[in-house]
Structure 1
C-alpha cells in the first residue's frame, strides 16, 4: 500500500507541480504527518523532491525529472475497465484504485497530449453528487474491508461467509457461492447461490464478510446481464406485489411509470373524457403503492383496490385536520 502511495505522490507532483502537504494529504487520503514521512522516504531513495517555504510554498520535483513508475496494479486495471461509471468503481470499493490508475494513465501520455487531455477533462462532469434541484444523490456506504473481501471471493471463485442483515431482521451468518457483482443506481449487489438456490444480497446490508478457501459451486462462465434480468423479472412478479387501477394526469404519467414495477396497460391506455389516462400498474407492496400515488397528489387517483383509496383518503384527512387545528390556535 505504501509503495502505491509513493508512486501516486510522485505522479501528483509531476502533473500538478508544487503542492502543499495539506493538499497532498487530501488527495492521498492520509494525514499530513504521513505525507511528510513519505517525502523523506522519497528523498532518501534519490527522488529529487524539495520544499519551498512561505505562504505559497509546498513540495515540488526538480524540473525535467522523469519516472517510469506507470505500471498498473491489478485493482487499478480493474478500476479502469469499469471507469465508464466512476460511481460504479466507488460501489465496488475501487474508488482510490481508479484515482491512482488515472494518474498513471495521464503520466504515460506524451507531454503535448497530457496538457490537452487535462484541459478537456475540466470541461466534463460525470455523475455529480446533486441534481439541478440541489437534491443530493444518496450513495450507499459499504466498508472497504467488506467489499474487498467480497470482491476477492468473487474473482477467486471461493465460497464466502457473510454476516447479512436482511430488511427488518438481525444480522445472521450464512455461506454463499458468489457469482458476480452488480451496481444499479449507486446500489451494489452480490449475486450468489445458497444451497443451490439463487440469492441476491445488497452490499450495504453485509456487515462483515470472510472469503473461505473452499471452491465455490458455480459455472465457469456467466452472463451477468442475462442473470440480472432473470432475477429482476422474478423479483417483479413475486412477493407481496399489488396491482392498482389508477387515473393519472398525462403530464405526470412518466412519474408514475418511473416508480412502478410494471405497467400492464402500456400499449392500450384508455383516456377519460377529461384526457386523463387509465392505467393498470404493479407495485412492490401495499406501502409502495400508497407512497407512489401520494407523491402525485391531485394529479392521480387510485380507482382500485378499495383499501388503497381508503388509505389515501385517511392520510389526506389527517393532514387536513392537522392544518385546521393549527390555524385555529
Structure 2
C-alpha cells in the first residue's frame, strides 16, 4: 500500500542520504512519476524533504531530522495520502486522523526545525472557507459512521448496502459493488457497479451504509483517474441534459451549484447577484432545482423553463388567492 511506501521512502532517505528520483523508483519498484507524487505528499504532511538540483542532485531530508512513523494507525496513514488537501480528508471522514497524524509528524521534528515549520505554516493558507468574492465554499457533510462503513467496504473489497437519496426520488436501499472513492471540489463520490452497470453515488446523499460479508465483484487493480474521466465524459454527454442561464442570490449559489451537473460560466451582476450557465440532467431536474430556490433565483433561458416555472407559480398563487366555500370560515 502507498502508506507503507511513504514510510519506506522516508527511511531510505534517512539511512542513505541524498537519492535521485530514479534510484528511489528502483528501490521502491515504482515509476519516477510516482516517487515525485510521494515526495509531494510527504512535504504536504510536514516532512522536511527537499530537492537538490544539478548532475548529482536528488532528494534529501533536512540534517538532523528524526521521526518515528511506527506510531501511525491505519486511518492516520490513510490521512497522509490526502494530506495535500485537508478538505479531501474531511470528505472521506479522515479529518481527525489527519490532525492526529500531523501532530505526530510535528512532534517528531527536532526542536529547531519544529519552530521553523511552525513559522512557515503561518505563511500558508490552503483552501480557505471563502473565495475573493466572499462566497463560502461548503464541503459535503457525511456522518462519520456512514463514511466509515463506505471506506471499509471499498478497502476490504466487500459488497456495500446503502440507503441512497437520489435527486427527485424517495430514498431506497440498494446493494452495490464498490470500486473507489473520489473527491472533487469538496464533494465526495463513491464509484461502484450495480448488477454489472456503472454507478456513481454522491457521499452526502448516502443516508446510511452497511459493509456486507460477501466479496465485491470487481477487478483486482483499478485506475480511478481513468474511470472517473470516462464516467464524467459519459455523464456530461447525456442526451437529456439541458443548459440553463440563471441569476441567483450569492447566499444560494451553493444550493444551485450543488444540484447541477456542471457550471459552464459564472459572472457577477452590478447588483451583487450572480449569473451562471449551468447544466442539469434533464428538464425535470432543471425545473426542480430552480423551484427550490424560490425568489432567490431567476431562470433567464431557455424559454420553456421560464414558462414552466411561471405556470407552476401561477397555479400556486391561484391556490392561495381565494378560498373555496368548503374552506371558508363560518
Whether the 8 Å CA contact 1:236–1:262 is kept in 2: the answer is: no
Whether the 8 Å CA contact 2:242–2:286 is kept in 1: the answer is: no
Gaps of 5+ in 1: 1-66, 247-257, 264-279, 316-329
Structure 2 CA distance for aligned equivalents of residues 97 and 282 of structure 1? 36
Partner of 1:112: 112
Q: How many angstroms does 1:172 deviate by? A: 1.5
Partner of 1:307: 304
Q: Which moved more, 1:72-81 or 1:306-315?
A: 306-315
Partner of 2:124: 124
TM-score of the two chains, using structure 1 as the length reference: 0.58
Q: How many angstroms does 1:205 deviate by? A: 1.1
Partner of 2:253: none
Whether the 8 Å CA contact 2:83–2:98 is kept in 1: the answer is: yes
Q: How many angstroms does 1:187 deviate by? A: 0.9
Structure 2 CA distance for aligned equivalents of residues 197 and 223 of structure 1? 17
Q: Does structure 1 residue 149 correspond to structure 2 residue 146?
A: no
Structure 2 CA distance for aligned equivalents of residues 121 and 262 of structure 1? 33
Structure 1 CA distance for aligned equivalents of residues 139 and 213 of structure 2? 32
Structure 2 CA distance for aligned equivalents of residues 187 and 204 of structure 1? 8
Partner of 2:230: 230
Whether the 8 Å CA contact 1:88–1:183 is kept in 2: the answer is: yes
Query: RMSD value over aligned CA atoms?
Result: 3.7
Structure 2 CA distance for aligned equivalents of residues 169 and 80 of structure 1? 37
Per-residue deviation, residues 209-257 of structure 1 (Å, max 9, x unmatched) = 111111110001111011011111111122631367x9xxxxxxxxxxx
Structure 1 residues 75, 116: CA separation in 2 closer, same or farther (over 3 Å shift)? same
Q: Does structure 1 residue 206 correspond to structure 2 residue 206?
A: yes
Structure 1 CA distance for aligned equivalents of residues 261 and 197 of structure 2? 27
TM-score of the two chains, using structure 2 as the length reference: 0.57
* SS of alignment partner, residue 137 of structure 1: coil
Partner of 1:94: 94
* SS of alignment partner, residue 200 of structure 1: strand
Gaps of 5+ in 2: 1-66, 246-256, 265-276, 313-330
Structure 1 residues 281, 121: CA separation in 2 closer, same or farther (over 3 Å shift)? closer
Structure 1 residues 311, 214: CA separation in 2 closer, same or farther (over 3 Å shift)? closer
Q: How many angstroms does 1:163 deviate by? A: 1.3
Structure 2 CA distance for aligned equivalents of residues 203 and 74 of structure 1? 21
Structure 1 CA distance for aligned equivalents of residues 68 and 278 of structure 2? 59
The higher radius of gyration belongs to: 1
Write the mapping of 1:150-299 to structure 2, written as runs, cut at 5 A.
150-238=150-238, 240-242=240-242, 261=262, 283-286=280-283, 288=286
Whether the 8 Å CA contact 1:160–1:176 is kept in 2: the answer is: yes
Per-residue deviation, residues 293-312 of structure 1 (Å, max 9, x unmatched) = x9998xx975x7x5257569
Structure 1 CA distance for aligned equivalents of residues 180 and 109 of structure 2? 33
Q: How many angstroms does 1:168 deviate by? A: 2.5
Whether the 8 Å CA contact 1:261–1:284 is kept in 2: the answer is: no
Q: Does structure 1 residue 135 correspond to structure 2 residue 135?
A: yes
Partner of 1:82: 82
Q: How many angstroms does 1:126 deviate by? A: 0.7
Write the mapping of 1:40-51 to structure 2, written as runs, cut at 5 A.
none
Whether the 8 Å CA contact 1:93–1:147 is kept in 2: the answer is: yes
* SS of alignment partner, residue 161 of structure 1: strand
Structure 1 CA distance for aligned equivalents of residues 229 and 137 of structure 2? 25
Structure 2 CA distance for aligned equivalents of residues 153 and 288 of structure 1? 34
* SS of alignment partner, residue 114 of structure 1: helix
Structure 1 residues 69, 311: CA separation in 2 closer, same or farther (over 3 Å shift)? closer
Structure 2 CA distance for aligned equivalents of residues 123 and 142 of structure 1? 31
Structure 1 CA distance for aligned equivalents of residues 94 and 235 of structure 2? 28
* SS of alignment partner, residue 116 of structure 1: helix
Whether the 8 Å CA contact 2:160–2:178 is kept in 1: the answer is: yes
